[in-house]
Amino acid sequence: MFRDFMRGRYGIDAISIIAMLLALLLTRFNYVWILGSALLGYAIFRIMSKAVDKRYREKQKFDNLIKPLAIKLNNFSSRLQQRKTHTIVRCKKCKKSLRLPKNKGKIKVSCPVCGLEFIMKT
């Protein structure tokens, strides 16, 4: 019965989940609950919509907006994981980030971009 009701409708996606979570947070505060209710209504509208192609295009635009943020977040998390085994330094000339192994003493570092060589203690 529910399966027949949802046939031809867009269904749940990342935008509607995010909208519902934000609505849950906003409905707990005075005067902002109206915005939260509107956001919840928008999420339900997206889920129940039969204009699948329009909702898909909206999701593609959302993904293009979020992609740079996801890349930065991924880079940040990988740096957090590597901080125990590597040191990140910047080249003095071109400001390129260089990853050096920790606890190797003084090493001669050569920047792959500009070719500047300098000695660094790790």
Which helix or strand (DSSP H or E) is residue 101 part of? strand 97-101
When pLDDT is cut at 50, 70 and 90, the band that residue 42 belongs to is very high
Q: Which pTM value belongs to this model?
A: 0.59
Q: Tell me the β-bridge partners of 118.
A: 109
pLDDT over threshold 80, residue 1: no
Give CA 117 to chain center in angstroms.
35
| Mean pLDDT on 6-34 | 91
